[in-house]
Copies of this chain bind each other. A is one copy, B any other.
Amino acid sequence: MENFTYHNPTKIEFGTGKEKLIGQHLLEHGIKKVLLCYGSERIKQEGLFDLVSQSLTDKGIALVELGGIVSNPVISKVREGITLARAHQVDAILSVGGGSVLDSVKAIAAGVCYDGDVWDLFVGKTGIKAALPLFAILTLAATGSEMNPGAVATNDETKEKLLISAPSLLPRVSIVNPALMQGVSRDYLVYSASDVIAHLIESYFTAAVQPKLQSRLIESLICTIIETTETLLTNPADYDARSQFAWAATLALNGLTFSGAAGFSYPNHAIEHSLSALFNVPHGAGLSVVMPAWMKWYLDRNKPQFERFATYVFGLEAPEAGIAALEDWFNKIGTPTRLSQLGVAETDLPAVVDNVQINVHAFGIANIYTPEVVTDILKRAV
């Protein structure tokens, strides 16, 4: 196992009714005025907004609203949030929504504490030295952002989708109530399953040092996602399946599965981010297209691990069979596996390949993922 530092001080409040604790948690952190960020107006129609604002009011905490954050969140909206946060001198940011809202909140929290334009932090012009405290109430389980220090946003002018990460971007408290996720659409459920599996397989297959302990934990989480997704497709109200899905999604990217692994990278994310940036496809939908294609290309580079995957996830023997089984499963649950299903034509590939070069440079894997290689991978998904 490789040397590592593990430090994840985010407090998770998991379970039904936990959103009512938000006022108390903000109070304990000395927060007096908060910028509450959300996506669609659904949280108002469904009563969550009122419940949260009541919890804040009860503790004497003022709130400023920023709604309308879209999935594949854009930096222009982040800038709007930074301006608002400064104008109202809030002392914390609260996300009520899924990964897109939370990622935007992280960018706002960092941007408020930075003098220049927030996009500088994404392109690595400077490091993140400080951020406002941030808190989350999660309404969609997928990105793991609720217990990690990362955030992704798209520059709507340049069409770059890039990542920031800093310890100060770990939420102080994240509230994960699976019951709030029952309204997630069938489509977004299966995209979420794909996203979580993508988080789990990147280090699993690419790590130069991949201890068996970590492989076992990853297989446990993948099996849980597969099983609970199937249950939820049949019965969306199954709270136990919803909760195991949600907790597996959190554990999939909170450091647990890759601490001790080394020399791994995120090629599937690097490629998918370009599909989202250029065609605004749901991240998980893009990933279920990229993953089987990438796996077929990568197979010979780590055959023993693909054999493990086939055996421990699908009970199959041949390494190729595991890849086929995953692709079949994506087809079965109804998340795309072909570029055409995303509305991306073969003639679009050069533009995608070009955009991917931005990401593979940012991820430090441009030496492997040359334009030729990325073309080779994507052609397998035509």
How long is the Cα–Cα vector from A14 to B256 in the complex, in angstroms?
A: 13
Residues of B within 8 A of A5 (CB): 11-14
Q: Give CA–CA (A83, B248) in the complex, Å.
A: 46
List of B residues within 8 angstroms of A15 by Cβ: 1-4
Question: Does residue A9 face the partner (Cβ distance < 8 Å to B)?
Answer: yes
Say yes or no: B1 contacts A240, CB within 8 Å.
yes
- Whether A213 is near chain B, meaning CB under 8 Å from some CB there, is yes
Q: Is B16 a contact of A211 with CB atoms below 8 Å?
A: no
User: Per-residue 0/1 for A1-44: is the Cβ within 8 Å of any B Cβ (1 yes, 0 no)?
Assistant: 11111111111111111100000000000000000000000000
**A361 interface residue, CB < 8 Å from B?**
no
The minimal Cβ–Cβ distance linking A304 to chain B, given in whole angstroms, is 16
Q: Which residues of B contact A3 (CB under 8 A)?
A: 14-18
A171 to chain B, nearest CB (A): 12
Task: Tell me whether B227 and A223 are in contact (CB under 8 A).
Answer: no
Chain B hits for A247, CB < 8 A: 1, 213, 259-260
Q: State whether B14 touches A260 (Cβ < 8 A).
A: yes
A57 close to chain B: CB less than 8 A? no
Which residues 245-260 in A have Cβ within 8 Å of B in the complex? 247-248, 251, 256, 259-260
Residue from B212, B219, B259 in contact with A227 in the complex, judged by beta carbons closer than 8 Å: B212
For residue A209, which residue of chain B has the nearest CB?
Answer: B240
- A224 contacts chain B at the CB level, 8 A cutoff: yes
A220, CB-defined interface residue at 8 Å? yes
> Interface residue count for A (Cβ, 8 Å)?
39
User: Could you tell me the distance between the alpha carbons of A227 and B12 in the complex, rounded to whole angstroms?
Assistant: 32
Q: Bound state CA distance, A6 and B254, in angstroms? A: 13
Q: Which residues of B contact A178 (CB under 8 A)?
A: 1
Q: Are A7 and B12 in contact (CB under 8 A)?
A: yes
Q: Is the CB of A216 closer than 8 A to any CB of chain B? A: yes
Task: Assess A14 versus B4: contact at CB under 8 Å? Given A224-B212, A247-B260.
Answer: yes
What is the CA–CA distance of A224 and B214 in the complex, to the nearest angstrom? Answer: 10
- Neighbouring B residues of A13 by C-beta, 8 Å: 5
Known A-B contacts A217-B217, A224-B213, A227-B212; A259 and B6 likewise in contact (beta carbons under 8 Å): no
Nearest Cβ on chain B to A170's Cβ, whole angstroms: 10
* A4 CB contacts on chain B under 8 angstroms: 12, 14-15
> Which of chain B's residues has its CB closest to A21's CB?
B5
A residues sitting closer than 8 Å to B (CB atoms) are 1-18, 178, 211-213, 216-217, 219-221, 223-224, 227, 240, 243-244, 247-248, 251, 256, 259-260
30 A–B contacts from the bound complex (CB under 8 Å): A1-B14, A1-B178, A2-B15, A3-B14, A3-B15, A3-B16, A4-B12, A5-B12, A6-B11, A6-B14, A7-B10, A9-B9, A14-B260, A211-B240, A211-B244, A212-B227, A212-B244, A213-B220, A213-B221, A213-B224, A213-B244, A216-B220, A216-B223, A216-B224, A217-B220, A220-B220, A244-B260, A247-B259, A247-B260, A256-B256
